Structure 1
Amino acid sequence: MKILINKISRMTEDIIVDFSMEFGSGKAAWNGYRKPEQGKQYNVEYDITDPLRWEKDVVLSKEKNFKIFMKQGTTFITGILEKVYNDGVADLRFGKSIIQLEIQGKNIPKGQYVEVKADSLEVYDVNY
């Protein structure tokens, strides 16, 4: 997906980017061979690296559209849980992209819109 870099900051070794895109805005750790530049657009893939817990970090969404937003310094993503596998991996549809999640819990509903608390969101520059 395409994102526009609005702000760049460093936290220890990580480069943190504030970005906007067609579904809203968020904050993520940057991964790529080239350094991001403020005001430039990049094609990225998303990754949430920490395991998530059903009904705590991932909850059913009242909203029925794709969305990314910040609340109290944390990025949230609303998408559709397209597939849920037996090993705890799930595919979250976010626009035309799929984000693989590791979700702990039972009775995780596939085919539903969910809101994901993305504390460990990372973006990967795919055009390096």
Structure 2
Amino acid sequence: MRIEIEKTNIVHGNCKVHFSTEYGKAVAYWNGELPEEGKAYIVEIEIEEILVLGENLEICDEYQFRIGMEKETIYLTGYLESIEEDGYAILRLGESIISLEIKSPVPSGSFVKILLDKITLFDVKY
């Protein structure tokens, strides 16, 4: 996913970035060399939280990709492309895909909203 870094902070020795995409803005942890403010990067998004329908995952009627913040919570709205029996799932966010772990039955082919405490961005150096 293509992002632009708006601001960087070091919090308890970890880099946090304020970033924007074509789908919205959010804050994430950064893994790798300190990014430059104002510069664009191609990144992978890592989600460590296990998702549970009704807790941090909801099926939504909005069929639009989004990234944003609600207070300190990060949200991603995307298309659930697939989910395996073991809970491994793929979320499509525009042209990008994100790996997830889901602990409850959710039909693939749904648009879902994910609420997260943390995401981590990895520079893929394209």
- Which TM-score band applies after superposition, normalised by the shorter structure? over 0.9
Please give the per-residue CA displacement for 1:23-44, whole angstroms capped at 9, x wherever unaligned: 1111111012x21111111110
Question: Given the two structures, how large is their TM-score scaled by the length of structure 1?
Answer: 0.93
Which residue is equivalent to 1:3?
A: 3
RMSD: 1.2
- 1:21 equivalent to 2:21? Answer yes
1:87 and 1:48 map into 2 onto residues whose CA distance is 17
Whichever residue aligns with residue 86 of structure 2, its letter is D
Q: Give the corresponding residue for 2:110.
A: 112
Alpha-carbon distance between aligned partners in 2 of 1:62 and 1:118, rounded to the nearest angstrom: 19
Residues 72 and 117 in structure 2, CA contact (< 8 A), matched pair in contact too: no
Q: Which of structure 1's runs of 4+ aligned residues deviate more than 6 A? A: none
Alignment gaps of 5+ in structure 2 = none
Give the corresponding residue for 1:55: 54
What is the distance in 2 between the residues matched to 1:28 and 1:73? Answer: 11
Structure 1 residue runs without a partner (length 5+): none
AA of the residue aligned to 1:102: E
Task: Give the letter aligned to residue 22 of structure 2.
Answer: E
How is 1:29-108 mapped onto 2 (pairs within 5 angstroms)? 29-32=29-32, 34-105=33-104, 107-108=105-106
1:61-109 CA distances to partner (integer Å, 9 max, x unpaired)? 131110101111211000011101111111101111110111112x211
